[in-house]
Amino acid sequence: MLLAVLLMLTIFTLLYFLITGELPAQERVKPKKIAEHAIPLAIAAVFFTGGSLVFMSPLSGFLSAVLGWLLVAWLKDYLNKREYRKIKEGSRDFISSATALLRSGLAMPEVINKTAAQLKPPLSEDFQAMYARYEMAGSKFPKNV
């Protein structure tokens, strides 16, 4: 049983390096990069152990480890797409609001300030930070054309 588990871990490690590529050089290893690879590996190890214990076979543990690996990738993809949708909807709202406010005669700083107050968090924080940075630096926004 122990040899079968070692064999499956060796095969899993081989597949991991074949799929994800080589690990970066030591001087370029960062905690975020380590977490990016370590979390799916840890989930796969948990699924391997659980699958081996439940189904009493290292092969089924290996298959469940692959499922755990893919589950993490699917979840990460879903969360990235959800964040992208938020930004896309917020940018549409910003364009329509900014167009209406600019046509009503407001200056660009006022438009950015008002739309930042109306938008949802990913874009509103960026616009508020941009407005504050320009206010603090004493820069001028471009004049309306």
pLDDT in tens, 6-46: 877 788 777 777 777 766 555 566 777 777 778 888 898 88
Indicate the domain borders of the chain.
Answer: 2-22+30-81, 84-137
Q: Which two tokens stand for residue 98?
A: 């900014």
Q: What is the pLDDT of residue 144?
A: 57
Q: What is the pLDDT of residue 23?
A: 60
Instruction: Identify the CA nearest to 59 among candidates 48, 70, 74.
Output: 48
Q: Where are the beta strands (DSSP E) in 24-134?
A: none
* Sign of the alpha-carbon torsion through 72, 74, 79, 83: positive
* Sign of the alpha-carbon torsion through 120, 123, 129, 134: negative
Q: Which of the residues in the chain have pLDDT under 50?
A: 145
Q: What is the pLDDT of residue 77?
A: 92
